[in-house]
Structure 1
Amino acid sequence: MKVLVVGSGGREHALCWAIAASPLCEKLWCAPGNAGIAQDAECVAIGAEDLDGIVAFAREHAVDLVVVGPEGPLVLGLVDRLNDAGIRAFGPSAAAARLEGSKGFMKDLCAAHGIPTAAYGRFTDAAAAKAFVRERGAPIVVKADGLAAGKGVVVAESVAEAEAAIDDALVANRFGDAGAELVVEEFLEGEEASYFALVDGKTVLPLASAQDHKRVGDGDTGPNTGGMGAYSPAPVMTPEMEARVLDEIVHPLVAAMTEAGCPFKGVVFAGLMIGESGPKLIEINVRFGDPECQTLMMRLRSDLLPALVASADGALAHLDLRWHPETALCVVMAANGYPGDYAKGTEIRGLDAAASDDVTVFHAGTKREAERILATGGRVLGVTALGASVAEAQARAYAAVDRIDWPDGFCRRDIGWRAVARETAGG
């Protein structure tokens, strides 16, 4: 098969790495890719949201499958455009991608179908949003309705902080159109986890769980980011809890989308809060997470490519996937200053020394200039390790991090801390 992956981040490197290993893959491209992806695929200079360019390339090269990595082109309708051109694509239609493209749409769907989630309100008027906050009190969560690159969520510890977040979005227009409407919702207590499943419009094929670390600093401090690290599986997602997530959230969600006239195909990424009463849905993403995807691909023993094709073709019913029992843990290395202003073009050395049989360094924001690897983004590398326990995977990942020579980068030093503490306590 000839395959084109769309995107340029660590998620896309992990997908290319897995697809390139498939005996079914005879040719692999990535648009636009990065320096690490270039080791597994031929990179082509087409932007992820250049829908015309991607469709034209897929036609010209008789691509058999286009795998769309990021949410942006999905929300813009890339899969629809490809399907209209007779090209098979992995991912949801624009109508189905509203699950991520509009938090309000997702919340309304949950409310209509009894899917457990936080109580909420939708607002385009700052005064009304502030009145809701004052009525509810703090802590409380303020979210931009649209896509905001992982930075449109504020967990406000006080009413004043929530009101400032409302003004940022609705008055100062910080997030542009993405923040023209807000979802304000109750703060949920518990432990966060992520759950992934492939869907073909009808059938749900469970994948695995993970736990992300959104805050920039150790101990979950500082502002939210796109993700500073993750590990899989998440111990809080016991077999019993996984069954509840599938029965109470994923299956009803898929059925609701079909009922709404926009059947879902692709990957469902459920962001969850596991509390005393069970799982509640925080958000739905319509693509693999980054950096969760890196951990999932490290653990996957089966060939990924047939599963992606089956999702696109509506043929998941008889498919099964095998997983390594080990833990995979990913440490994100970011440019100094991220998620604020950061320098670009700094050189990274020691990448070959960091890799081993148990460690893969996935690239996110990188480019190659001659023999030099340069940082081009905020989140730059995903150092991912396998281990028999979370602690072992963590130790291997940080040993690899320490072999990378990049004085202009940093990372959290506590990825997986909850699970390591649980292991240490023997629970």
Structure 2
Amino acid sequence: MKLAILGGGGFRVPLVYGAVMRDQGDRRIDHVSLYDVVPERLQAIEQVLRQLGAEADQPPVVETTTDLDTALDGADFVFSAIRVGGLEGRTADERVALDLGLLGQETTGPGGLAYGLRTLPTAVRIAERAAAMCPGAWIINFTNPAGMITEAMQQVLGRRVIGICDSPIGLGRRAARALGHDPDRVSVSYAGLNHLGWLNGLGKDGRNVLPDLIQDERLLATIEEGRLFGAEWIQSLGYLPNEYLYYYYFTRDAVASIRGGAETRGEFLLGQQRAFYEAVAAQPGNALARWRQVREERDATYMKEGRTAGESRDATDVEGGGYEAVALALMAAITRNDRATMILNVRNGSTIPALPADAVIEVPCMVDADGPHPLAAAPLPAEQLGLIQQVKAVEQLTIQAARDHSPTLALKALALHPLIDSVTTARILLSNYRSRLPDLDQLLR
């Protein structure tokens, strides 16, 4: 089978290729087509993949292309991880907000909306070309903001577009391990939007064991979320938030930490990745070793604004099985009818009755040869439901703003986001984003 990876020159592509390479099941991927608009990045990642493939007996064939239709032609699966505007765009997303004292983060708050606005036209074009070149393919979207982009692509391709994220799956597995349970033998009750969800239950032998974790401060201190939010706040909530809820519950703390740093996350990655691609171009024979070194540095600094000075991530929070494992498990469940339950970004239908049927939500699904099927969700507490309703309304306004090229709707989306505290501020944000991001300015003309 053929897998097309869009954003094929991206730094994390070797993770996906490595997962595919290790797959020993029948009907597996044997052809990988990498698509990117930057040839130099493609060449560097191709070197990494070829050296990675040398460690296997029969690695998938790799081809590279800067032509989208060539990559999509005949694909069985399409993995989309594009970054419109590159990391330079991400630094603008972050800095424009931070300069106004607001959260500067690529998927949450104003930065996420700016990122979404300039990405949506490209994502829709990809969906339209996929409909023409590989109408039977499943599209696995990891492009951020994942829920918003998945929803826009579904408007073209329907339920064959599935969004993935490793955050909620990691949360459930960490909670199970903290209680001494096998993560593969517990059921997870989780609901929300991408980067805005909560673990509300953990089933083991017919009993919800999540309260056992929440009531035990010692056990909470062993997981990333327990250290991030603190036992007192988690116990007040009565459930475990996704790590990205830190930006909502501790907004001032997050902004102060990011502004107090020498550089934003985007600026750190921009410098790191420039050095990586330059190093591979200079010494292509060391591509894989250099990639592994840089990946370790990258993982260790993830969401550092939520940790105290000198505190490092626990090894179990960064080891094996990230989004690439989710993608592989999803492909296996569909191609081999290996029924599996996983948390995915899918069309709501009636799963959360208070949200529109066409809204993309993040919930546990049973996946088989017919794709994902959302599992019934328990009613959400009012404080969860209210927040996801507001953010979903903002996401849908953003999609409409991009589709209609409407600065009025873009302003409305910014002004209604719960992390933006004033219409006046929203106006300044939009003006500053348009000044810093020419593609965004052009979109809204």
Q: Same fold (TM over 0.5)?
A: no
More strand by share: 1
More helix by share: 2
Provide TM-score, normalisation by structure 2: 0.30
